[in-house]
Structure 1
Amino acid sequence: MARDQIKVPFGYEPPAETHKGTVLLFETFEDWTETEVHAFTRWAEERKFVRAIFYPQHEETLRRMDIPCQQPYYARVKHLESLLEQVDTTLQLDLDKWEGKRKKYTPIDTSLKFLTDKTPTPHFVCMSDRYANLFVTYPSFKEWIKKVRLVIINQFHVPLHGKLNEYAERWEVVDFGNGS
């Protein structure tokens, strides 16, 4: 096989990649407004992400995780779609409806595997403080925290689980202005 040779000037270095990675947002999105969506996209643009995936979870998954949710999955998806249509951003915003197709409980491990396999690295998982406190108690958390960085939304203002201190360099807390 012949290789193409490329001529470059002496001392040439390829330009640094300015945009990278994917942020996966796990949330109910039940009480999200334009304010939170705009704050999130502004934060993601500042961090120079290529793509943001909004991942609403099915009510059966939320019930098993003891996360209260009044609206059904499809109502939350419809609400989120209308919010995303109003956002003007350079970021690629996607709404993943895989859990709606499954129509049953989906472990967070399965969801993370599904999403990370089909999106460019590095991966950042963004979830509320309530979600993060649950996620840290799962046995697979140790494996996932090595593969992804965790971004915790200070939404419910609950104290964070002490186990997170072991991985202090792998997570950060942000505030998108949720008044919940």
Structure 2
Amino acid sequence: MARDQIKVPFGYEPPPDTEKGTVFVFETFEDWTEREMNGFIAWAESKKFVRAVFYPQHEETLRRMDIRAELPYYARVKHLESLLEDVDTTLSIELDKWEGKRKKYTPLDTSLSFLAEKSPSPYFICMSDRYANLFVTYPSFKEWIKKARLVIFTQFRVPLHGKLNDYADRWETVDFGNGA
């Protein structure tokens, strides 16, 4: 198969890629409103992400993580779908329902590996402060904090785990409730 030749002027350098990779959003999403969604979208667009993947977790996974969810998985997905319908953005948005098909506990590192296989890098993991406090205690955290940056949104206003201070250059906090 022949390749197409491209002619460029002498000294041409391609423009730098200003678009970033993928942000994975882990949350129950049952208490998200248009305000949080619009705040997240505004933040993601300001950071020039290519893609955002929303990943609601099955109630079995949440139960094993000691996170209470009032609504069942399918209701939270339906709520998230209704929020995403009203979003006007250039960002490529995906709602991943893999955990709903599994219908059982899925470790966080398994979910991250699954999402990373099919998404362009670099990776950013966005989760609430209560999720981040749990994630930092998992053995796989040290591996993932090297592969991805952590974005913690201060939804529940809980103090952050002290172990995060060891990786202070790999995470940041944002507040989506106030529009980023």
| Fold shared, TM-score > 0.5 on shorter chain | yes
Q: Which runs of 4+ in 1 moved over 4 A?
A: 1-5
Equivalent position amino acid for 1:143 in 2: E
Give the number of aligned pairs. Answer: 178
Shift in Å at residue 115 of structure 1? 0.2
Shift in Å at residue 5 of structure 1? 4.8
Identity %: 79
User: 2:166 matched to 1:166?
Assistant: yes
User: 2:59 matched to 1:59?
Assistant: yes
Shift in Å at residue 11 of structure 1? 2.1
Equivalent position amino acid for 1:47 in 2: K
* Structure 2: stretches of 5+ with no match in the other structure: none
CA distances 1:125-144 after superposition (whole Å, capped 9, x unpaired)? 00000000000000110001
Aligned-residue CA RMSD in angstroms?
Answer: 1.3
Shift in Å at residue 49 of structure 1? 0.5
Shift in Å at residue 170 of structure 1? 0.5
Match of 1:98 in 2: 98
Corresponding residue SS for 1:168 = helix
CA distances 1:76-109 after superposition (whole Å, capped 9, x unpaired)? 0000000000000000111000000000000001
CA distances 1:19-52 after superposition (whole Å, capped 9, x unpaired)? 2200000000010011111110110000000100
User: 2:149 matched to 1:149?
Assistant: yes
RCO comparison, higher one (Cα < 8 Å, 6+): 2
Equivalences for 1:61-140 in 2 at 5 Å? 61-140=61-140
* Structure 1: stretches of 5+ with no match in the other structure: none
Corresponding residue SS for 2:60 = helix
